[in-house]
Structure 1
């Protein structure tokens, strides 16, 4: 005789996790910080995160700017704080980090972003935490931040020639040169990835210089004053001050022609011309020569997509006025000026 055994009910498959991690609280270890000069104060932060499958810790990789989870602060540099699990579980835990407070910050600092990926790599929390929870703030009082400036000579750099890289450092509170200041230098990938760093110190006059070969000079150059790195995030490193850029190999060439050279005083005159190399939207200055022999800005205009521009000149009185058009230097090229031209007011 055939025995019938009731089939066991089928178990429903667990529902897929379709929600991102949630933030429940953020607390700082203190409410205020006072820093000066090269000091770095590491202020603790605690963040409670929950997720059904668990928050996924992701280590830093040079190919991605930041890891996970992280907290973003309302100041720069050093805006991001990497968090790591300190208590509880990845499903419900306290994630902690250290906020690197330096003299680069001042005033009220607060968390303005939080990011956390879950274990499925499909759901991410990416919000301003102020929109969902009460968030703390940190009052920072700072002074004597180092200033850093990097220039190259000669510029524009002739092809195949070496260049002198010069670093100048000063105290932004007093304006005085900063002697014996530790400065880190790097080139190309070393500006955004670990490795290739040269550590130097400024001389008694607050400067440091070195010669770069033509091969090295073609790449991005960077300099920074290092601070103390976060224990959870040795890179990107803590930066107190920085500067960087490429050695420029071009100078702006500016043509300028007034539509008229003699008009009644107070009449507008279009000044037309072209600028190379092309920088669409670049703001140009119309300058007029004043009696004290100084050139002063009297109007501005923008470079159109064609490389041409129009600026209006207005001779204010019955006299002959000297004008020129100035293209300020930028990352693309060294500044350049047009030939001087005159417009007579009658």
Structure 2
């Protein structure tokens, strides 16, 4: 069993970080430690100071008959380097976690003691975070994972969180090697105004969350946005190492002291769909299928931007009725067929609908296309 309460003191140093995965099973002869309590010792942290940062502290009371290391950190797997995780109420571009990666024993014994950790946070972490899990390694290389229900919380206030909002510029994609420039506009979420001169740094989303330091080392991180808050990344390839799995870190200048992280950004990609069509014939008999073949770019094997191809009929008044639909094949080829119910002249077109949202921080978006209408006579 474990318990928690709010305290006012703590020691030791940590970093800010990544969500831990379930821990590996300990060796058969390894005893399981007991998590007695988890305590947030700084339930309110104000980052509205001139430095733009504050300290969040945690105390973890543990028992283990064989004794635990004086310094606890998780050494095993790249994705399992966090010891204590506090989850936020939002998700990207809000900071999703506060994480302690190292705990140091500050009181008691190795068999029954309290380990302390401290992380630095900045306005990027504005909001409330609740401890949800603890993970430790012991001296016998055993890993132990403790889920925490109704854990203690910390609220980070006083700062102005910024966000790099997506500026979408559709890119025509055929080979996947096309270049594009991720662009965001840095906006103050409190005032709603753009922030000129903010520093923006691109990082792979595969980097661990604990690499997102609230106070980065010198030299200044990334490159600067212009006076209107617009930031443009150097050319990336559509299928390059950083697409679409990239996150942006937004920093504010803090005088001679350096920078603090103000928020996150979203370099979301927008693809402009292209298509071709060939009608097998523009005169057919009643009940004879009208056949249309063609290509869609980008092909699904290059980028999953198009999920369907529609054959549509003009029914008047600016309304188009979808009469046939197929997904494009992996190579982008498609075949549509439709048999008209009666003789007459039909105005038909091929349309490839887009997907996703144009809103910022919503991921991959595709802008659809509609080809010019073709008249088919059915006799």
Q: TM-score higher than 0.5 here?
A: yes
Residue of structure 2 aligned with 1:171, choices 188, 195, 217 = 188
| Mapping of residues 7-46 of structure 1, within 5 Å | 17-35=29-47, 39-46=52-59
- The one-character-per-residue Cα deviations of 1:170-213 (angstroms, maximum 9, x if unpaired) are 11222211112122235798798799995322221112335437
2:138 alignment counterpart: 118
Paired residue secondary structure (1:184): strand
Paired residue secondary structure (2:172): coil
Greater relative contact order, per chain length (Cα 8 Å cut-off, separation 6+): 2
1:52 and 1:91 in contact (8 A); partners too: yes
Gaps of 5+ in 1: 1-15, 229-236, 258-272, 310-319
| Mapping of residues 125-140 of structure 1, within 5 Å | 125-130=144-149, 135-140=151-156
Mapped partners of 1:43, 1:159: distance in 2: 44
Gaps of 5+ in 2: 1-27, 90-94, 254-259, 279-293, 335-346, 357-361, 375-379
Question: Does 1:79 pair with 2:98?
Answer: yes
1:209 alignment counterpart: 232
Q: Which has the larger radius of gyration?
A: 1
2:64 alignment counterpart: 51
Paired residue secondary structure (1:208): strand
2:199 and 2:251 in contact (8 A); partners too: yes
The CA RMSD over aligned residues, in Å, is 5.9
1:144 alignment counterpart: 160
1:67 shift after superposition = 2.4
Mapped partners of 2:112, 2:351: distance in 1: 66
Mapped partners of 1:254, 1:225: distance in 2: 38
TM-score (normalizing by structure 2)? 0.55
Is 83-92 or 185-194 further displaced after alignment? 185-194
2:240 alignment counterpart: 218
Instruction: Sort the Cα spacing of 1:53 and 1:165 in 2 relative to 1 into closer, same or farther, 3 A.
Output: same
1:69 alignment counterpart: 83
2:283 alignment counterpart: none
Mapped partners of 2:351, 2:363: distance in 1: 22
Aligned length: 305
TM-score (normalizing by structure 1)? 0.59
Instruction: Sort the Cα spacing of 1:325 and 1:303 in 2 relative to 1 into closer, same or farther, 3 A.
Output: same
